[in-house]
Amino acid sequence: MKCFVLFMCVSILLGRSLAQGETLKLGINRTNLAWVESKERQFEILDEIHALGVKSIRLAMPLPHLPTYEHIRYCNKLGVDVVLLVLSPEKDIYFDPGTPIRDGDDEVIYDLPPLSEINEDQFLTLFRYYMVTLREGRLKVEAVQLFNELNWAAFNGDLPLVEGGAFITDENYRDYEFVGQWAAGIRKYRLILKEARRIVDQVFEKEPQLKPKLVTCGYARPDDQFLAKVSGSVIDPSLFLDILGGRHSLAGSRDNAFRYADGVGVHMYPEKMDLDPGTGVETASYYIEKKLKPLIRNAGKDKPIYISEWGYAGWLNNVKLAEEDRLKQFRIFIRALESKPFSDLTFGEIMLFDYDIMPPFSVYQDGALTPAARIFEDRFERNKK
């Protein structure tokens, strides 16, 4: 009898949570779609994603740019919203000739130019061109996200490979000589955000229905074991966000860069799975709250929070996970977002990573959808009613 009562309570709570969840917009990442060799396959992928019931997709703007515009137009036709990621490490167009390139490991951390060397004028000229192209092409983008994980060596050439890995915090940053150069790059990013705000407002002044929201970059926190394995360096998200928010001396000024954005980006990759009906939501909520705390401290609670990447890998702590369990964990994570601790927050797009880019995280593997992809079918069925 006790088991039956517990089952009914969990079912009622789940039902309430799912009903509330209709206000959350679940999307997926398929960045760098333009790099898929077959153009026909590029559009097949978009059709497959749409068939899942996905409400939004995160595309990137890598070279060559033309296919991405075509993908946006096709998504507009399908009724799938687009979050457009504009990446910074395009050494051939945003950086001056001869800019030094930081070596990577060619597996996780690639050779990249340092953000501190980006030619801001050149970038902003091209950014204006991208926005004008969207406007003139009548292409609707829900949000433009400027840059990606600038606190992590995999996306910022100012952060070097460090044997054994390095996690840089407010307490130890003076021990790392390269932090000064990294901070100079973040100061450039603060200025770029300010100018990008002005450009978006100007370009879409007479076409407000096409105007995209401007969203700050997400931030990373790989675990220490992974950092040691790949010799990666990462800046504590709290330090990174305090610099963006003008709260730290490394910011150069007290100007809060978040005020130029319409939404704020965050990435969430919980290290721990908890499928227990009694504790799972609490475990996920604890992680989410810890991840959002430094962001809210700097950006406040008024701006929509774009979880532009989140997910659970198919391998965790060297253990292969059943895809059905991954689906359960996805649902628990969404229920956590819908729970009371976050009821006063507004969420923008919630973008699962990913469709088919990185197999441990993908919901499309070996030529077929995994059971974890049903997270979209579930929400699609509810949203049709």
Structure confidence by residue, pLDDT tens digits, 315-370: 776 677 899 999 999 999 999 999 999 999 999 999 999 999 998 999 999 999 99
Q: Which DSSP category does 116 fall into?
A: G
Q: If DSSP codes are grouped into helix, strand and coil, which group holds residue 199? A: helix
User: Per the CATH hierarchy, to which homologous superfamily does domain 19-384 belong?
Assistant: Glycosidases (3.20.20.80)
Write down the domain spans for the chain: 19-384
Quick: pLDDT tens for 275-323: 999 999 999 999 999 999 999 999 999 999 999 999 999 877 667 789 9
CB-CB neighbours of 130 under 10 Å: 19
What 3-state DSSP class applies to 309?
Answer: strand
SS (H, E, C) 227-296: HHHHCCEEECHHHHHHHHCCCCHHHCCCCCHHHHCCEEEEEECCCCCCCCCCCHHHHHHHHHHHHHHHHH
DSSP string, 332-345: HHHHHHTSGGGTT-
Residue-wise burial string across 190-199, b where 16 or more C-beta atoms lie within 10 A, e elsewhere: bbbbebbbeb
Helix H or strand E segment including 127: helix 120-136
Q: What are phi and psi of 297, to 5 degrees?
A: -60, -35
- Please state the pTM of the whole predicted model: 0.91
**Both tokens assigned to 6:** 């517990």
pLDDT tens for residues 151-181? 999 999 999 999 999 999 999 999 999 999 9
